[in-house]
Amino acid sequence: MTSTAQPFAPYHQLHRGGTSVILDATTAGMPTIIHWGPDTGELNESELQDLASAARPQRVSGGIDQPARLDVFPQERFGWQHGPALEGHRASRSWATALTTKGIQASEHGLSISADDPVAHLKLVTELELSANGILSQRHTLTNTGSDAYLVNRLSVVFPLPHTATTIQDSTGRHLKERSAQRRPLTIGSHVRESRRGRPGADASLLMLAGEARFAHRSGLVHGVHLAWSGNHRLSAERTITSDNFITAGELLLPGELSLEPGGSYSTPWAFGSWGHGLDQLSARFHRDLRARPQHPRTPRPVTLNTWEAVYFDHDLQTLKELADQAAVVGVERFVLDDGWFNGRRDDTAGLGDWFVDPAVWPQGLSPIIDHVAGLGMEFGLWFEPEMVNPDSDLARSHPDWILHTADRWPVSARQQQVLNMAHPDCYTYLLERIDSLLTQYPISYIKWDHNRDLLEASHADSGTAAVRETTLALYRLLGELKSRHPHLEIESCASGGARVDLGILEHTDRIWTSDCIDPIERLDNQENTNLLVPYELLGAHIGGPRSHSTGRKHDLGFMARTAIFGHFGIEWNIAGIDEKLCAELARWVDFHKENRGLFHGGDSVHADHPDPAIDIRGVVATDASRAVFAFTLREASITYPAGRFTLPGLDPHAKYRVRLSEPLNDAVGNGQSALSWAQISHVLSGTVLETTGMQSPVLFPEQSVLIMLDRHEA
């Protein structure tokens, strides 16, 4: 967009995508966001002045004479008595800044606010942009104008919250159970979520959410913030004794990690804020923005078979050919060879880092399996873990200086691995050459890019200084360079499953692996909470074998398929030996996904708020509301029997819909007369009735589900 210089007006407005952002630039220090949320419409100067006046805090007994404002860059100089936006110093000096607005430049949908502190010798530019779908993005750029170094300890962006935000929700987790939601009241003080794992981590919070007391998917005003960064980070939700509610987001900098030399600058990662009347509306803004990106996948997402849970490290050519043959029969479109193809890699204790095809396993190279897969009409993908190294590898023995460590001691190992310093120029060059060479030699259209351990004591070997930030930026550069050299390459981000899910990594990759756990019961929560930010087409969702490798639970094929069907669909299972009946059933599910993936990967994600926690109802509604598919799942035995009525949200209230159970049916419905009647009838109901009055639930066993298809009914 073209920027034009504007007078330093006292008030500024941004209106787009149903969102308004209004700033008061008359406040001391930096401007204050006095409204972020539902569209107010364009306000005139008098209305803006009155709004700003009504928002000014009152002086109270025992307080300071000029009450502080929660502006876009809170500083102690202007009365702020809580965590400042900037923490830093110049050899213990210049720690108390007085950055003051010097100019505001407006573009069509954004603002660039410049500020200066001539005493601390710092300049700041704060950028705010409002997307076509109403997402507010912010970042700061700090420049050292002094003659000596300025050490940055912390630099955060701030998103104000309405006074109705009394409840917060974030997510936590572990390997095999990422992104589990947790709630608590937003009380006075700070609720801080930090990631110090060198990646977001399985326990990271994807979003910091704050809203009305009982906000849910379809109700309650709620705001949320995400930081687009794949390294250490910090999110907080805070409430002050003066009733300021806000969320902060920023990179978590390790001691001494960021020193600005004279003339040097630092830009924070972009932070993205969304809001909605319910989580579905908040999520829809993120999804629509991501789908509008120029690099967003435009072709149908190929049905994928990954070999990991099928064969693990047993790379036998005949076995893999038989697996590929069966994959082609059921309709798979992409075959991905996982870990175990490179030098010395017979288990997870050795070989990592030696990215040469192992002649002991593949005496003719990868051509025999790639040619076989291509002959069956499928794409070929290959697994890498470039950021890691086994100490038992030629790479580690030859270049210990390429490994992140401190003071001649190795960090505590994890999965028998250490971490490479991709910011080391020679290490970066080696990784680029090895991966590029294989992509050039073979017709590989897809990389599964893994990252199987947290970082500990991540330091440059020569200087001993912290290296998380630099290695994260090197990762982005490497991914970008590979995409530049191989424009049709797609990359999946996997990190012990779902330990690196953020919009920073998704700027350079084409999907994320949501979790190493593909047990469908566990995946219900995982996929729901990941889908708050990530649309289904970027969310890897596979069918596993009859018994889950991570939980030991057994589920039938239909239940697994209905849980995975909306996402970037695939199979993680040795299907080479399944019988004809099971093969035919799997093929029907693959066909069903292909027939509907345009809806699943372009429609709006919706979730019904059912009062019974045993019942899960989610679906996708076409953007024109002409059709929809919902999954109705009974997680566990309900207290009531039958479960009573349920509603289907997100439809056109004025349209009528034909409602029926969707094929393939299998045996999901069939333990009572109510289920039989459900399977045999077709309802015609209005969108209003479906969202408000609803229908009686089908009768299911616990851990069963059905798919419900809706099509606009033309009388």
Catalytic residues: 450, 516
Q: How far is CA 230 from CA 170, 195, 235, 476, 502, in A?
A: 18, 10, 13, 9, 6
Give a three-class secondary structure readout of 620-678. EECCCCCEEEEEEEECCCCCCCCCCEECCCCCCCCCEEEEEECCCCCCCCCCCHHHHHH
Q: How far apart are the first and last CA of the chain?
A: 47
Of 610, 566, 573, 590, nearest to 664 (Cα)? Answer: 590
Of 108, 221, 201, 210, nearest to 159 (Cα)? Answer: 210
User: What stretch of H or E contains 22?
Assistant: strand 19-24
Quote the DSSP letter at residue 402.
G
The residues facing 492 across adjacent strands are 448, 511
What's at 297, amino acid-wise?
A: P
Give a three-class secondary structure readout of 474-494. HHHHHHHHHHHHCCCCEEEEC
Secondary structure (3-state) at 288: helix
Token pair of 620 as six digits: 């996708």
Return d(Cα 226, Cα 503) in angstroms, integer: 8
- What are the backbone dihedrals phi and psi of residue 13, each rounded to the nearest 5 degrees, phi first? -130, 140
Residue with tokens 């407006």: 106
Return d(Cα 666, Cα 688) in angstroms, integer: 30
User: What stretch of H or E contains 542?
Assistant: strand 539-544
Return d(Cα 489, Cα 31) in angstroms, integer: 44
Return d(Cα 84, Cα 78) in angstroms, integer: 11
